[in-house]
Structure 1
Amino acid sequence: MSEIKHVYRLQGLSCTNCAAKFEKNVRDIDTVEDVQLNFGASKISIVGEASVEQLEAAGAFDGIKVLPERQKYTEEKAPFWQKRANKLTVVSLFFLIFGYISSFTIGESSPATIAVFALSILIGGYDLFKVGLKNLTRFEFDMKTLMTVAIIGATIIGEWGEGAVVVFLFALSEALEGYSMDKARQSIRSLMDIAPDTAIIKRGKDEFEIAVEDIQVGDIMVIKPGQKVAMDGQVLRGQSSITQAAITGESIPVHKEIGDEVFAGSLNEDGFLEVRVTKLAEDTTIAKIIHLVEEAQAERAPSQQFVDKFAKYYTPSIMIIALLVSVIPPLFIGGDWAEWIYRGLAVLVVGCPCALVISTPVAIVTAIGNAAKNGVLIKGGIHLEETGRLKVIAFDKTGTLTEGKPEVTNIVSLSNMSENEVLAISAAIETFSQHPLASAILRKAAKKKAAAYTADDFQSFTGKGAKAVINKTVYCIGSPKLFEEMLSIPPNVQNQINRLQSQGKTVMLVGTQEEIKGCIAVADQVRKSSLSIIQKLRKLGIEKTVMLTGDNKATGNAIGTQLGLSEVKAELMPKDKLECIKSLREQNGKVAMIGDGINDAPALASATVGIAMGGAGTDTALETADIALMADDLEKLPYTIALSRKTLIVIKQNIAFAFGLKLLALLLIIPGWLTLWLAIFADVGSTLLVVLNSLRLMKTRYK
């Protein structure tokens, strides 16, 4: 069985029913083993073999064009009213108006009037009938089948004018649906246009302009002032301010110098840079964002799954109800056949599930696209919905609520060892550690030019500290808890520890397994924005904010009090954080965990929604988190929650509009007030309301 997946982009994919039919047609191709159609991103993935011609033949009923995913193409941006289907709709409207003028002047039963209405029906409904009649012969009941039966029925009982109105309004409804999805997909297209197609590559003394697909890792890219960066890379020469709003959503330019990372799609402001390419075109951060956004839009949200399942049974049910309305009154209570057939046709028309089917996907696609443009990557409709229902948010401390760059504030000798020697011993051990506290000690040692010792046999104790052999002596550095397991901490040392911890500092002891030689206090600065973000979250309805930290209780409580957090859980090992998240979920329901996407992976995975910070520079964050805040700060968190809550409200409103208008129209059948044109007007009205309501999500802005 072939495992090779071929991905194609689609043009002309306008409605969910057409998408489902196209997917079925492709699946029926003998050489195709599996198909996945992404309606939101307008893409199809195929396992097996199928030519572009075969695929276009499968989509010929809707004029679908198929293009290989990586093929460059310029999309025709024809104005709304210049598209073929919309032109036919306008011509149909012209004949419809002319037909009503004729009915008022020479009579509605006149052959000339019927001919004009018939032209309006045939011109506006040609594409509809072509699909609807074929579906009817195959007993496939979708929206086009309903409309075809209704229009044919109307002409049979002599309601030519109303049949023409139904055709026009249905065509208008289809045009609106196509327009709305096109607007929603623009967010992805705008992302795809961010990075240039070519870059200037320097080889020796020569410079060449090369397509990004041909650039290799290690090539030297030249970026002049005002140019966009074409590939991810590392600055080799020069310095400049780079605007990376397209990637991280940060509007303020970021200063870049030798050794710093730059992203494809960012804009070089004022300096000249030479950058070593670190990733191929398909692996750049912007390429991953586009891929993940498209995958996210393919994910069906819980509300969409419900609507899709409901619609599957809804359409055949409407057909049965319409049939019963048409035949039961004439057969059993002596009703007029023409009148009740007319009412049955009205049921068919009003029962058309256009608005219901589009109610959720158009809102989800719009919201996810809007978030991506603002530097927030939401990896599926389910995560968008779950974020909108959050009650509790748990924060990792280091690098999330704090800057993540702790600095050494105190070095205290507690023996005959000098402060410089305490620092030198600590630096020798921490050379092997990746912890942020280790980096602080190494920076301090470099600044003070402390002696350089060689450490051997390094061993780390997760969440506690580390040890190594220096000058044939085993030295340890770590939390007081680590030393409590080896010896009894003297009262004077404990007092020193308590004093430093009460100031919000993290204390690390340094010594042998028999004696404490000194201690080092480190403080991590709270982010300036953290307090205002916690306050914004409260206003958005977050009931509880919790900080989870491996730090000591005194330090955790000092920061918790400063930020006004609901709860602080300190001295936690990674497994303890996981247990805390499980406990919070049991007690409070929906819980988000926010970290850097690298550490605390089990806790992020266990939370209802795992949110990673700094996704732009971290592949792990892009791959593991449910949501990635591309910039390395919390500023986008309140925006993300507000967008998610607004999306939930919009989806509920859409479903209410779709059901409410149809229910109201169906009630009008009882007194006989529901006409065919009123039925289709209710259908178009609900579709229009759903579309316009969903597009409001494009206006949601990051503040």
Structure 2
Amino acid sequence: MNIRKKVWKLVKTYRLENLSCTSCAAKFEKNVRGLPNIKNVNLNFGASKLTIDGDVSIEALEKAGAFDHIRVYPEKEKIKVVPFYQRRQTVETAFSLLLLIAGIIVSFQASETNPWAITLFAGSMAIGGYHMFWTGLKNLREFQFDMKTLMTIAIIGAVIIGEWREGAVVVFLFAVSEALESFSMNKARQSIRSLMDLAPARALIQRAGKLIELDTEDIRIGDVLIVKPGQKIAMDGTVLRGESAVNQAAITGESLPAVKSVGDEVFAGTMNEEGALEVTVTKRVEDTTIAKIIHLVEEAQAEKAPTQKFIDQFAKYYTPAIIVIAFLVALVPGFITGNWELWVYQGLAVLVVGCPCALVVSTPVAIVTAIGNAARQGVLIKGGIHLEETGQIKAIAFDKTGTLTKGYPEVTDVIAQGTILEEEVLKLAASVETMSQHPLAKAISKKAASTYPSENFKSVTGKGAYATVNDESIYVGSLNWAEEKGLRIPEKARKLQESGKSVTAVFSETVLLGIIAIADAIRLESPSIIKQLKAMGIEQTIMLTGDHPTTATAIGSEIGVTDVRAGLMPEDKLAAIKDLQKQYGRVAMVGDGINDAPALAASSIGIAMGGAGTDAALETADIALMADDLEKLPYTIRLSRKTLRIIKENIVFALGLKVMALLLIIPGWLTLWIAIFADMGATLLVILNALRLVKVQK
């Protein structure tokens, strides 16, 4: 069956091609809403995606977008990318240029009113602008005023007053502008397309003892996925058998491959680099982490930033105002001077130069580019509003455990007494603790290189544990327990305890063998991240924790935060965020996306650590750092600030060039080709300026 004749029912999503301007997108959406049997329509300009609730054919949708050659494809159908030089717009523009050059040559050899010259100019206008004329005339009939309407009026006016050459030049320049704008918007959207191509469409599955290759849509939860070295993983799952290094850069932005073994989680779209893996599928294709990222990024690109909302409102009044100004420029000076030809021409030029295209596209193209770039770096920003807010924050609050620290206890210090070595102290302690389930015991066992055989293990509540090791009773427990045995504790052990660490004594019946200090270790990068944030102008960095004030103060001092608030329950953290907002206005909260939910929700920007595979983080946070990597935070703030700066620059470029061109009216120097250059230049300038965001790296 021809897919373009096929009728899709209920809610369907389509990919669009040739959707390059916001006004065209709005008109297309309006046309689709007017089709029969349509209940609801949602058009996402940034992602070039259309969602429809209704009974409609692709053929009918393409007819609704015929005014701008919009092509419609089912969401899962891969869009064939046509090279720039082969695109319809490019070919028509090239033919228009050839006829324009020929017309100019004839007009210079004879005159501009020569029939052959007029024919060539008319041919150039017809080939380069017939789509524009057709749409412009229809818009005039319906009293809709967009760029094509204004251009149509201007070109018809130029022909009436005999400016054939200028009319042809303007049409050619407009065609060039349209082609380049389409090309630039496609470049801006490439980040999404690259994400969509990450996960394979088919995969090798072991089912009922047989190996079969299936489309990912047909793979079920519980199926076993076979992944060979060098292949991409097609589905989310857990490793059933095998061990390998997996490059997760596409999901988390991490540059180094992660070692995966039995029981570890793997993500669709990541690359298996070394060994073969058998993976038990845990999610359907539409629920994989990469699918959620794509969906959330597309939704983020559809959400309008505050600046964009303002500009959209401004443009509603701006375009009618330009039309009024153009009529006044044509009528008032013409009536006063009697030189109607000059001032009608100036009025037509005002229509062209006043088009709001550059202004309207100035913000969305920057937002689309920034959010796409962030997604490739492993940072999920869930909307333009969050991008703008992040660029303006003055204070950042951090949850301590798992954010500024590693989130699990780790041996930080070993102090041996007498002639015994530090390694021996650890080995004896681990030999006792190997039977214990206490988190501190696990930290000691993990640190020790090896253990001795032990027996007669016994745990003593509130004190520690002991066991027989090498025919001697070895005790591992609190400093108080060691003192009860009559042993003297070194001053250094007390200082470690005062610094917030858990200090354990290792001793026999008569001798103190050593001291082991354990703490939730600070991430190596935390102090440097705080320094970077301060250098970027973040006024306050605050650590919020439920820890004892002594421990919290010691950790906060080592990391370098400006404020520490300790002993906090979840409701206290919420109150702390509200207090900080009163002091500093916009405040970000960085946490794990699951704990401290009230504080994350109340903050101006909630930033979740380790969003990959964590549904709660993906759904609730405003920004998710997909890897458990705090180093992405300065990058995110830098990207947000640069986006804000570029949006402001774009608005200045868009309005500044037009104002400069309009000032040429005063001496009567404004021409149609200057007008189109001003409009085209402003549009291309804001798009190219926004594309600079692609280069912002970690």
| 1:57-96 correspondence to structure 2 within 5 Å | 57-69=63-75, 71-73=76-78, 75-96=79-100
Deviation at 1:664? 0.4
Tell me how far apart the structure 2 counterparts of residues 150 and 499 of structure 1 sit (CA, whole Å). 82
From 146, 160, 170, the counterpart of 2:150: 146
**3-state SS of paired residue (1:406):** strand
CA contact (8 A) 2:249 2:270 kept: yes
2:202 corresponds to: 198
Tell me how far apart the structure 2 counterparts of residues 249 and 154 of structure 1 sit (CA, whole Å). 54
Confirm whether residue 696 of structure 1 aligns to residue 689 of structure 2.
Answer: no
**3-state SS of paired residue (2:612):** helix
CA contact (8 A) 1:201 1:210 kept: yes
1:125 corresponds to: 129
**3-state SS of paired residue (1:40):** coil
Confirm whether residue 318 of structure 1 aligns to residue 328 of structure 2.
Answer: no
From 622, 629, 639, the counterpart of 1:626: 622
Confirm whether residue 344 of structure 1 aligns to residue 340 of structure 2.
Answer: no
Tell me how far apart the structure 2 counterparts of residues 228 and 235 of structure 1 sit (CA, whole Å). 14
CA contact (8 A) 1:594 1:604 kept: yes
Confirm whether residue 378 of structure 1 aligns to residue 381 of structure 2.
Answer: yes
Q: Evaluate the alpha carbon distance shift between residue 240 and residue 68 of structure 1 in structure 2; reply closer, same or farther with a 3 A threshold.
A: same
Deviation at 1:560? 1.1
Taking structure 1 as the reference length, what is the TM-score of the superposition? 0.85
2:393 corresponds to: 390
Confirm whether residue 9 of structure 1 aligns to residue 12 of structure 2.
Answer: no
From 328, 335, 340, the counterpart of 2:338: 335
Q: Evaluate the alpha carbon distance shift between residue 423 and residue 222 of structure 1 in structure 2; reply closer, same or farther with a 3 A threshold.
A: closer
**3-state SS of paired residue (1:403):** strand
Tell me how far apart the structure 2 counterparts of residues 247 and 566 of structure 1 sit (CA, whole Å). 33
**3-state SS of paired residue (1:55):** helix
Q: Which moved more, 1:40-49 or 1:654-663?
A: 40-49
Q: Evaluate the alpha carbon distance shift between residue 442 and residue 9 of structure 1 in structure 2; reply closer, same or farther with a 3 A threshold.
A: farther
From 660, 667, 678, the counterpart of 2:663: 667
Confirm whether residue 557 of structure 1 aligns to residue 553 of structure 2.
Answer: yes
Tell me how far apart the structure 2 counterparts of residues 689 and 409 of structure 1 sit (CA, whole Å). 55
Q: Evaluate the alpha carbon distance shift between residue 649 and residue 19 of structure 1 in structure 2; reply closer, same or farther with a 3 A threshold.
A: same
Task: Write the letter of the residue equivalent to 1:271.
Answer: G
Tell me how far apart the structure 1 counterparts of residues 499 and 553 of structure 2 sit (CA, whole Å). 10
Tell me how far apart the structure 1 counterparts of residues 609 and 301 of structure 2 sit (CA, whole Å). 21
How many residue pairs were aligned?
A: 636
Task: Write the letter of the residue equivalent to 2:103.
Answer: G
Deviation at 1:688? 1.6
1:362 corresponds to: 365
Q: Deviations over 1:488-507 (max 9, x none)?
A: xxxxxxx9998665222269
Name stretches of at least 5 consecutive residues in structure 1 with no aligned partner. 412-418, 431-435, 456-494, 509-519
Taking structure 2 as the reference length, what is the TM-score of the superposition? 0.86
Tell me how far apart the structure 1 counterparts of residues 96 and 640 of structure 2 sit (CA, whole Å). 41
Deviation at 1:442? 11
Tell me how far apart the structure 2 counterparts of residues 563 and 555 of structure 1 sit (CA, whole Å). 12
Tell me how far apart the structure 1 counterparts of residues 362 and 608 of structure 2 sit (CA, whole Å). 30
Q: Deviations over 1:530-574 (max 9, x none)?
A: 111111112222111111111111111111111111111111101
Q: Deviations over 1:297-318 (max 9, x none)?
A: 0010111111111111111111
1:301 corresponds to: 305
**3-state SS of paired residue (1:236):** strand
CA contact (8 A) 1:263 1:286 kept: yes
| 1:638-677 correspondence to structure 2 within 5 Å | 638-677=634-673
Confirm whether residue 401 of structure 1 aligns to residue 407 of structure 2.
Answer: no
Deviation at 1:46? 1.6
1:458 corresponds to: none
Q: Deviations over 1:448-486 (max 9, x none)?
A: 999799x9xxxxxxxxxxxxxxxxxxxxxxxxxxxxxxx
**3-state SS of paired residue (2:43):** strand
1:226 corresponds to: 230
Q: Evaluate the alpha carbon distance shift between residue 177 and residue 276 of structure 1 in structure 2; reply closer, same or farther with a 3 A threshold.
A: same
| 1:535-550 correspondence to structure 2 within 5 Å | 535-550=531-546
Deviation at 1:345? 0.3
Q: Deviations over 1:107-147 (max 9, x none)?
A: 11112111111111111110101100000000001111111
Q: Evaluate the alpha carbon distance shift between residue 262 and residue 449 of structure 1 in structure 2; reply closer, same or farther with a 3 A threshold.
A: farther
**3-state SS of paired residue (1:121):** helix
Q: Evaluate the alpha carbon distance shift between residue 449 and residue 547 of structure 1 in structure 2; reply closer, same or farther with a 3 A threshold.
A: farther
| 1:100-119 correspondence to structure 2 within 5 Å | 100-119=104-123
Tell me how far apart the structure 1 counterparts of residues 53 and 442 of structure 2 sit (CA, whole Å). 48
Confirm whether residue 570 of structure 1 aligns to residue 566 of structure 2.
Answer: yes
2:526 corresponds to: 530
CA contact (8 A) 1:506 1:552 kept: no
Task: Write the letter of the residue equivalent to 2:567.
Answer: E
Tell me how far apart the structure 1 counterparts of residues 656 and 172 of structure 2 sit (CA, whole Å). 23
Tell me how far apart the structure 1 counterparts of residues 302 and 142 of structure 2 sit (CA, whole Å). 28
Task: Write the letter of the residue equivalent to 2:371.
Answer: I
Could you say what the CA RMSD is over the residues aligned between the two structures, in angstroms? 3.0
Task: Write the letter of the residue equivalent to 2:615.
Answer: D
Q: Deviations over 1:276-298 (max 9, x none)?
A: 00000110001111111111100
**3-state SS of paired residue (2:198):** coil
Q: Deviations over 1:392-427 (max 9, x none)?
A: 11111000011111247899xxxxxxx99x999996
2:509 corresponds to: none
Deviation at 1:522? 5.1
Q: Deviations over 1:208-247 (max 9, x none)?
A: 1111111000001111111111101001111111110000
**3-state SS of paired residue (1:616):** coil
Tell me how far apart the structure 2 counterparts of residues 265 and 450 of structure 1 sit (CA, whole Å). 50
Q: Deviations over 1:638-669 (max 9, x none)?
A: 11111111111111111100000000000110
Tell me how far apart the structure 1 counterparts of residues 283 and 45 of structure 2 sit (CA, whole Å). 29
Tell me how far apart the structure 2 counterparts of residues 449 and 685 of structure 1 sit (CA, whole Å). 82
Deviation at 1:382? 0.7
Deviation at 1:334? 3.3
Identity rate of aligned residues, in percent?
64
1:32 corresponds to: 38
| 1:272-311 correspondence to structure 2 within 5 Å | 272-311=276-315
Q: Evaluate the alpha carbon distance shift between residue 256 and residue 449 of structure 1 in structure 2; reply closer, same or farther with a 3 A threshold.
A: farther
Task: Write the letter of the residue equivalent to 1:21.
Answer: K
Tell me how far apart the structure 2 counterparts of residues 112 and 20 of structure 1 sit (CA, whole Å). 40
Tell me how far apart the structure 2 counterparts of residues 168 and 101 of structure 1 sit (CA, whole Å). 16
Tell me how far apart the structure 2 counterparts of residues 61 and 374 of structure 1 sit (CA, whole Å). 37
Q: Evaluate the alpha carbon distance shift between residue 243 and residue 409 of structure 1 in structure 2; reply closer, same or farther with a 3 A threshold.
A: closer
| 1:132-281 correspondence to structure 2 within 5 Å | 132-281=136-285
**3-state SS of paired residue (1:559):** helix
Q: Deviations over 1:361-382 (max 9, x none)?
A: 1111011001101111010011
Q: Deviations over 1:655-699 (max 9, x none)?
A: 100000000000110110111101111111111211111111111
**3-state SS of paired residue (2:500):** coil
CA contact (8 A) 1:198 1:230 kept: yes
Deviation at 1:438? 11
Q: Which moved more, 1:590-599 or 1:94-103?
A: 94-103
Task: Write the letter of the residue equivalent to 1:62.
Answer: D
Deviation at 1:203? 2.5
Tell me how far apart the structure 1 counterparts of residues 80 and 197 of structure 2 sit (CA, whole Å). 15
CA contact (8 A) 1:612 1:628 kept: yes
CA contact (8 A) 2:327 2:347 kept: yes
Q: Evaluate the alpha carbon distance shift between residue 524 and residue 673 of structure 1 in structure 2; reply closer, same or farther with a 3 A threshold.
A: same
